[in-house]
Chain A
Amino acid sequence: MNSKNWPLFEVFIRSKNGLSHKHVGSLHAADPAMALENARDVYCRRNEGVSIWVVPSDHITASDPGDAEELYEPARDKIYRHPTFYTIPDEIGHM
């Protein structure tokens, strides 16, 4: 039998309200509804979550590691975006 394989989904779980969803892994499912239940059955067996997102893996667009220099390095010398760049006298206290 030459069955078509179930597609891959990425699973994101919110461990408790107030925190954002975090990538925990992936799994196979025939459709998104099943993916959600599989995520519950596979990744939430130990009280890991209160909310689940599943996304078909092929719907994720990822940056190319080869572009790392142009994407991330230009941010490195913009030190004026960080609070420590500015001098405030000690007697002013925390600002």
Chain B
Amino acid sequence: MGDNGLILGQRLAEWCGHGPILEQDIALTNISLDLIGQARLWLSLAGQIEGQGRDEDKLAYFRDANEFRHLNLCEQPNGHWGTTILRQFLFDAFHLPLLEQISKFDDPQLASIAQKCVKEVRYHLRWSSEWAVRLGDGTEESHEKMQQALADVWPFAGEAILANAFDLELAEINPAYNIQMVNKAWWSTVNDVFNQANLEVPAANWAPQKGREGIHTERLGFILAEMQFLPRAYPDAQW
């Protein structure tokens, strides 16, 4: 959960200062801030549970690519505004039902972080859905760009909704956890929004992605090289 927020938040932060209009530059930065904020909570909790004295920064800055457990969708490049919107939408549509389930877990720490995140992510999904519809059903040019961008990001979405090791772990923590519910909610949101957006839903031709197991795309190395270089170059320094 923390790595999803951190890596996607990091990607969104690349937009800061380069958005299509000031209002939306600000809006996207709000989402980036939410996600990095969420990442800090999850990573701090992870470090605390691990009990080896690793805090949020140790986990963010001193792990290698194969130790990151986010969806490969999150590390895909920003592309144009439409690519960013669709990557965000496909993620939000998964993120929200997942958080809704975790927010009902018995574990009070997991549940309370998830409850906080749900409020933020509800807005993210609203925002990314509206933009997907707006651009999908805007001009001919925007429609084409969106359909093309969808072809780029769509294959990465499968990893979010197909059951994998992550889901088994969640089910272990809480037997009531149900990946099928996340899957169902995701499809329902995607179908509904793409229908309004006049976008064709591609076939479920998922690329075999294993970000959850630490096998990422080539993108991640560059993200980490940039993100981690200062603490790695000066490991004794306090910032």
Contact = CB atoms under 8 A, between A and B. Distances in A.
Interface stretch (B21-29, B72-80, B160-168, B212-220): B21-29
B130 A41 contact: no
B30 A30 contact: no
A28 to B, nearest CB: 6
A28 B26 CA distance: 12
Chain B, interface residues (CB within 8 Å), range: 10 to 19
B30 A38 contact: no
A78 B44 CA distance: 67
Interface in A26-71: 27-30, 33-34, 37-38, 41-42, 45
A28 B20 CA distance: 12
Interface in B118-150: 126-127, 130, 134
A28 B134 CA distance: 16
Contacts of B134: 30
Interface size class of A (residues with CB under 8 A): 10 to 19
A86 interface: no
B21 A37 contact: no
Interface in B15-58: 21, 23-24, 26-27, 30
A38 B131 CA distance: 13
B130 A42 contact: no
B21 A41 contact: no
A38 B24 CA distance: 7
List the 8 closest pairs (A to B, CB-CB), nearest first: A41-B27, A38-B23, A41-B26, A41-B30, A42-B26, A27-B23, A28-B23, A42-B23
